[in-house]
Structure formats: structure tokens, C-alpha cells
Structure 1
Amino acid sequence: MNLPTGFTASSADALPLHVVTRASLADWRAAQAPATGAWLDAHGFDGAPSTLLALPGSDGRVAAAVIGIGDPLDPYAYSHAPFALPAGDWRIAGEHDAATCAALRLGWGLGAYRFNRYRQPLRAPARLLVEGDEAIADFDQLAACVRVRDLVNTPTEHMGPDQLEQITCEIAERHGARIEVISGDDLLAHNFPAIHAVGRASHRAPRLIMLRWGDESHPHVAIVGKGVCFDTGGLDLKAADGMRNMKKDMGGAAHAIALAELVMARKLPLRITMLVPAVENAVGPDAFRPGEVIATRQGLSVEIDNTDAEGRVVLCDALTYACEHKPELILDFATLTGAARIALGPDLPALYSNDEAAASAWLDAGTLHRDPLWRMPLWRPYLRYLTSTIADMANGGPSKMAGSVTAALYLERFVPATQPWAHLDVYSWNDADRPGRPAGGEAQGLRAAFAMLQSRARG
């Protein structure tokens, strides 16, 4: 197989890389030569997380290295290594259990990632030696995370609704899935009026991308992703700094596509329906306007309080369609609100669910796989913030209170109480470079979602 960036399958010159924690440093050091201990002292190396020290040989060249980590099962504990180490090939020294090795390989791959569509990195990452088939299972999860990052990082000129459709078609063909796309005015003919309303002003036609895969006898899971490929805010135009990174507003779609691809790559015994309403929220003569009342597939009328609350509007038609097929579970991903970031910060997605089992399973998987998320309440008294005097509901209101909660409550109105559903409000972005988290697109809650589906598939 073609190995991801940062890995090699053979190397006669790979140098040993020792992995220690503060707690294990003393035992490791006791097994080293006295000169190594003196070198550690000279550099003040204490095994702290995210530290690294190259170790010299007798000829003055680098002969080995030692990295300090915190949690051995956290992939990001190792992600500083590929660019902190001297370029070249490295092999992990010592014995480590399978879970630690899996975390190490995933973290290494995340740390080696750089988005290189438009320019090459200044240097190549150090390469980790992997042998045999040990890494295949790790690499498809790494590929899913890279898929999200690449999709989100690509500017809208090269990642509009049509490109999302093309990429989904390529994935479907590779895995034997079925694809259906409804676009432009056909959305009205097929009763997806809310998706059409949000995307109709763009020169790129709005569309609903549908992928279906799996045996009819297997449990059915619907995966929905918000695909707003660029969000100007519409006629409620965003300020320049708020619009700057809005290529990432299709981060929910990126997660949905990557999760579906991962399920198919692993051939989980599930039947999946993936839905991506893909639009641009543009400004133009046909843009939907504040104060308009739009129709939805479910039949609820929605007054547009703010055209910048468009994600929930496209999602409500997709969720309604997903519910019509009565899946055992619906998962949706969306870069839905800045309020979630204010409440929880950029690294912790906000989870909402009407189903205790689904919420607990996703949270538990996040804890186990170090892919954290935090549950937020569907506090239904806050539906008062979505009251309209002329329609069944509004997509927003004058209050700035509980913005993430009210967005989730809006979505819940389109999901029957008997339909298990979970919604993840993700940031999908790193604001600044950190080890393993380069500035730009990021996968959040994805590995946890896959682990949850894996457990569901096992029964």
C-alpha cells in the first residue's frame, strides 16, 4: 500500500526513538550509558510532555533520540515528533502495547500532515518505520482525518458544491456505493425548498448529495453534514474578519464524507445513508431576505430572522428526509454556531442528542479514544427564542442568549421524538499552529463517531 506522509516501510538506517514519560524516565535512564545521563542533565531533559532531545553518538552524529509524552493513548502526545526530530528515518525502540503503538502511529501521521496543494512545506517530516500490516487499521483513520483537513483547507474556488459532489462520487465508485444528486430548481420539484432558498443566489447551483451503501439487512445509520461551501452571511453580511475563514463552513460535510468513507473502507456491517446539502450562502439579486417566510420539507414554515443562520435552514430539509427512512440512528455534523466556541472553546465540540444511549456511546468513545466532546442540553424552554409572529417558527431571534442551544433546538423540531438523533456542533478548525494541529481544517469527534458505529455494528 502507499504509505501516508511521514512513514516508510523499509529503512536500513532508521535510528532508535525512545519514548518516555516523566514517571518512566528514571527507569529508562538507568539502562543507558553514563554519558547519556550526563547529556540529559546538560539539557535539563525531564520527560515532560511534548519535549524531545537528540542523543549523540561517539562520532558526534545523531545516534538516537528520546521524546517526552503525557498520556500514552493520546495520539497528540506524539505529534510533535515528526517536525521536532531531525529529518530521516526513525524506529520506535523498546516494547509497547498495541494500543500505545496505534496511538503513536496516528499521532505521528497527524503531526506529519501539511496542506500542500498550493505550496510545499519548507522541510519534509521525519519518517517512522512501520513493518508488515500492523499499521493498516491505523492508517484508514488517519486518512479520514486527513480527508477532513484537506476538504476544509481547500478554498471555495476549488471546493464548491460541485467539487463536493465530484469527490463524493469518486468515493462512492471506489466502494461500490450508490449516488444521487438533486440540484438547482429540481430541489423544488423534489420538495427540498429550504436548501434551495439558501443556495439560490449563488452562481453554483445548490444541491443535495446522497450516498447509499450497505446491505439492506444491516442496521441503518444516516449521516448528515452541513455543506455551506462559503458563508458570506447573505444579506445579513458578515464583517470581514468573520467572513475570512468561511471556506470552513462545509466542515460538517467534510466530517460526514470522511465518516462514510471510513465505514465503507472498514466494511462495517451497517447500511449508511449520507446526506450533504451543499450550497453557497451568497449575496445576489435572488438572495433570500430577512423577514421572508420559507417552506420546509417537513411542512413547517420558517421566518428568516437572520440570513447568517443558514446552516440550520439547509440541514432541516436533509434531516427531514433522513427521518423519512426511519434509520436506527441519525448523526449530523455542522459548523453551526460561534456560540458553541464561546461556551466550550475551539477544541471541544458541542454534542446534543434526544437519545441517552446514543449520547453516552459517543461521549464514552470520545473519552476512550482521546477524541473529546461535551454534551450540551436541549433546553426546550429556549424555543421561545425562535418564536415567529407570522410563521411556525423563526430561524433566530433578537436574543443573544444560548445561541448553540437554540440552533440545536431548531434542528430538533425536524426530528420526531421517537427518532434517535445526535448533533455535533464542530469548529473544524485550528486557529494557530500547535504540534499535530497545524493551522487550518481539523477533524473533531470523527474518530469517536467511528468507534461508536463500530460498537453498534458488533451488536
Structure 2
Amino acid sequence: MAPFQFIERPSPFNTSAGKTLPIFAVTPAHIDTGSIDPIALDWARKAGFKAESGAVLLIPSADHLGGALFGLGSRPSEAPFLTGKLARSLPPGKWHIETAPLTANRLALGYGLGSYRFERYRSPRPEAPTLMIPADADAGDIKRQLAGVFLARDLINTPTNDMGPEALESVFRALAAHYKADVSVISGEALLTQNFPLVHTVGRASAEAPRLLELRWGKKGHRKVTLVGKGVCFDTGGLDIKTAASMHLMKKDMGGAANVLGLALMIMDAKLKVELRVIVPAVENSISSNAFRPGDIYRSRKGLTVQIDNTDAEGRLILADALAYADQEKTDLMVDMATLTGAARVALGPDLPPFFTDDEDLARDLFEASLTVDDPLWRMPLYMGYDKDVSARIADLTNAPSGGMAGSITAALFLKRFVTNAKSWVHFDIYAWAQSERPHSPVGGEAQAIRALYHHIGRLAG
């Protein structure tokens, strides 16, 4: 069974037999020492090709295209997915890598990641090039990782008029159906009767009802993994309304949900021996006569009361109910992912997602997984000295501590109040967006940390 796709797209890889054109991936040293195909070498030297990082030089033959040279630069290890540039630089046709000082999996995964296009709203484009997956690469695992990453990117890139809470539920159900997982949904006023008051509070002003989505897959008795993703399909900021510039990218405020669904796809497609649970509170933070207000106080599912000091700090509210619900069952690993704070971007920028955990072994394992699969992440401190800052004067907690300092830490400490039973818990404060084009991704929605998490969970599952 092929991996799940939200948006159908052609494979970036050759799927049929036939002649393929060679790509010679080379460093400047290969040109200097002449240690490549003589015809390619002669053409490179005549054209002044220096094998700079990402440079492409097409090689003619007697009457047609004969192949291509691809520059890796002097330090190819610093750009492990540089081959993604090939997917956007080569002319249409079938290609294969003839020589490359790269591992087969990195080579193919990089090409696949770089092939991504979000074209749901565009006219059809010309045919794209395809690459033969090297024989010694793990083709099945590469394809499922691409499917997970592409699902996350597609969901984030889709505008809210086509990806509100109802549409997100539809994708959630389709993913579950593809892998024969069980789904339950609590929606609208039922959130109040079933004790999800904060999810209801944040989402009640929208024309589309707020909802809590839950997926279960796998066999009981295996390691239990629970994924929780922030699903704010659009965030106006509520009554503390954002500026137009700040609202521009708020279709991506469900990036946490998109990323946990991409990770869930990888886990289920690989048939990892885990008992998987995925929980997504899906809402739109809108403005209406029944919108929640600054100064309001609400009781959470856990019983803790929360004072609303800023309606634009809504993500931690819906996650509080979702985490408390997830924490009612013992779990070996609980992961939550959310586009939660601007403070995380100030600290580490858009491309390096921070994570917070008080489990030292888990922190070490995640960092090792990050290095192994070249999926960057960085640990930030759960500094308990700031825990007092999430307390409120007339309620148990505030959703927006005053002072504006250590915002990503205090947000993580707020969430920590709702997780007490999980054996291990980790919170990821992701950006879920690529601000500039990179070899392995265009500008737009991005999967962050899920390849590292997939690697770690695979090891956890044995």
C-alpha cells in the first residue's frame, strides 16, 4: 500500500524502465585531480565549471543531452540534502546518479524533499525531472518520510478557506482510514458536556465549530506514544487582534497539528510496534460577539483556572485541555507540537525548533536522532525559577505572563502543569515555515523535527 497523500502528485522518482541520463556529483577536488568520467571532465574544464555548491552544468552528446555535472562544493557534509537543488535545476527527463560521494539515502531523500511543489491552486506546469533511487537506498522508508513531510507542508500551505476545522477533520479521517485507525471527534457544544471548556472557549466565535480529533492505532501492549498537535486553523488574535502583518501567515497556526499528522503517517506506514494516539484540538480563533475576552477566567479540563490576559495566547489554552485529556492514560512518550511563541523565533530563528523536556535521557536521545538524520532541533531549559510567572492574582494560572521575557519558557511551563502521568513528555515550539528557499525546501509550510522524532520512536519501538 502506497503512503497516504493529501494532494496527489507525480512521484519524483523513476517508476518505469528505460534509458536514464547520468549525473556526476562532484567536488572541486574531482575537477582538479581529473577523477571523473573523461568526457564529463573535458566538458567541465572547457566550460569553466568549478563544482561550486549546487551548480549544475548540462553535458551535450553528439546529437542530444548527454548528462549533467552537479557541484557539491568543498564541504558537502555541511549540506546533506543539497541534491534537492537537482529537482529544480534539471530539465525534464529520467536521470540517475552516476557518481556521488554521498550516502544513497541522503542523496535520494534530498532529491525528493527538493522536488516538493504546492500547486493545488496553479495551472499545470511542465513535466518535472525524475531520479532513479539508488539500489542500495531504502526506497520504502524514503517514500514514507517524503509522504509525511509533504502532508505537513500541504496542510500548512493550504489557505484557511479550504483548511478550517471541518477540512482538517476530513484529512484526519482520511489518514486514519488509509491506515485502518480508529477516529473519534467531539464537536461544538459537546465539548462543554464532555469537559473540554478551553477548546470550546477559544473556538466558539468561529462559524465552524471547534472540535477535538482523536486517532488510535496499533496494538495494546506495545510502547504507548501520544502525539498532541495545536490545530488553530487561523488566528486573528481574538479581541487582542493582531496587526495585518502579523496575521498574514496565520494559516500556519495549525502547523503543530500538521506536523504530528505527518509524523503519525510515518509511524503507521512503517508499522512501528507502538500503540499510537493522536490528539488535535481544531479551532479558529475568531472575533464575534461571543468571543472570549481579556480578563475572563475559565476552568480547564484539569480543574485549574486560567485568567485570560491576552486572547492571542490561545494555543496554550486548547493544548491545556488536550494534554490533560491525553495524560489521563499512562503513556511512555507524550509529544506536543505547536506554533506557540514568537519568543522561540527570537531565540533560535525560524529553522531551528526548540524543544523542552525534563527527561535527560529523552533530551539526549532526541539530539542524537537529530544529528543522525540531519533534522535540526535544540533543547531549551524548563527553568523552574520562572514557574511563578505563570501564576495569576485571582486564578491558578495566566495565559500571558507580564513582562515579555522568557516567553517560550513560560509557555512550556504553563503546558507542563497539565502533564503529570506521562513517563516522558516533550514540547516542541516550532515555526512550521521556511522563510527562504533551501536545497530541500521552497518557501512555505515546513515539517520540523518529525524526521528526528520518527527515528527516535523507531528505536523506542525496537
TM tier relative to shorter chain: over 0.9
Question: In the TM superposition, what is the alpha-carbon distance from 1:163 to its structure 2 partner?
Answer: 1.2
- Decide which of 78, 81, 86 is 1:76's aligned counterpart: 81
Which deviates further from its counterpart, 298-307 or 35-44? 35-44
* Aligned counterpart in structure 1 of residue 20 of structure 2, from 14, 18, 26: 14
CA contact (8 A) 1:337 1:404 kept: yes
> Which secondary structure state, in structure 1, belongs to the residue aligned with residue 81 of structure 2?
helix
Q: CA deviation at 1:392?
A: 0.5
Deviation at 1:449, TM superposition (A): 0.5
Q: Distance in 2 between matches of 1:255 and 1:281?
A: 20
In 1, Cα distance between equivalents of 2:155 and 2:149: 10
In the TM superposition, residue 102 of structure 1 has moved relative to its aligned partner by: 1.3
Q: Aligned partners of 1:42, 1:382: CA distance in 2, in Å?
A: 63
**Aligned partner letter, 1:394:** T
CA contact (8 A) 1:74 1:369 kept: no
Q: CA deviation at 1:278?
A: 0.4
- Correspondence 1:400 to 2:404: yes
The one of 448, 451, 460 equivalent to 1:456 is 460
Q: Look up the match of 1:90.
A: 95
Q: Which of 205, 208, 222 in structure 2 is aligned with 1:204?
A: 208
Give the unaligned 5+ runs of structure 2: 3-8
Q: 1:306 aligns with which of 303, 310, 334?
A: 310
Q: What is the Cα-based RMSD across aligned positions, in Å?
A: 2.0
CA contact (8 A) 2:25 2:101 kept: no
For 1:38 and 1:24, the matched residues in 2 are separated by 12
Deviation (angstroms), 1:39? 3.1
Deviations 1:352-380 (A, max 9, x none): 11211112111111111000101000112
Identify which of 263, 270, 290 aligns with 1:266: 270
Q: 1:31 to 1:182 in 2, by over 3 A?
A: closer
Partner of 1:284: 288
State whether residues 222 and 329 of structure 1, in contact with CA within 8 Å, keep that contact through their aligned partners in structure 2: yes
1:368 counterpart SS class: helix
* 1:360 matched residue in structure 2: 364
The percentage of aligned residue pairs carrying the same residue is 45
* Other structure's SS at 1:195 match: helix
Q: Which residue of 2 aligns with 1:107?
A: 110
Aligned partners of 1:304 and 1:396 also within 8 Å: yes
Work out whether residues 207 and 278 of structure 1, in 8 Å CA contact, stay in contact via their aligned partners in 2. yes
Q: CA deviation at 1:266?
A: 0.7
Q: Indicate if the aligned counterparts of 2:12 and 2:112 stay in contact, CA closer than 8 A.
A: yes
> 1:406: how far off?
1.1
Which amino acid in the other structure matches residue 406 of structure 1? T
* CA displacement 1:84-115 (0-9 Å, x = unmatched): 11221111114777xx1111111111111110
Q: Could you tell me whether the CA contact under 8 Å between 1:115 and 1:150 is conserved in 2? A: yes
Q: Which runs of 5+ in 1 are unaligned?
A: none
Correspondence for 1:218: 222
Query: Partners of 1:408 and 1:441 in 2: how far apart?
Result: 23
Please tell me the residue identity of whatever aligns with 1:92: I
CA distance in 2, matches of 1:5, 1:51: 24
Alignment of 1:372 with 2:376, yes or no, is yes
Question: Partners of 1:32 and 1:290 in 2: how far apart?
Answer: 69
Shift of 1:42: 4.1
Q: Which residue of 2 aligns with 1:383?
A: 387
Q: Give the drift of 1:270.
A: 0.2
Cα distance change on mapping 1:307 and 1:87 into 2, 3 Å? same
Is the 1:323–1:419 contact (alpha carbons within 8 Å) kept by the matching residues of 2?
A: no
Native 8 Å contact 2:330 2:421 kept in 1: no
1:385–1:399 Cα contact (<8 Å) kept: no
Deviation at 1:172, TM superposition (A): 1.2
Q: What is the identity, as a one-letter code, of the residue corresponding to 2:110?
A: G
The CA deviation at 1:31 is: 3.9
Deviation at 1:131, TM superposition (A): 7.5
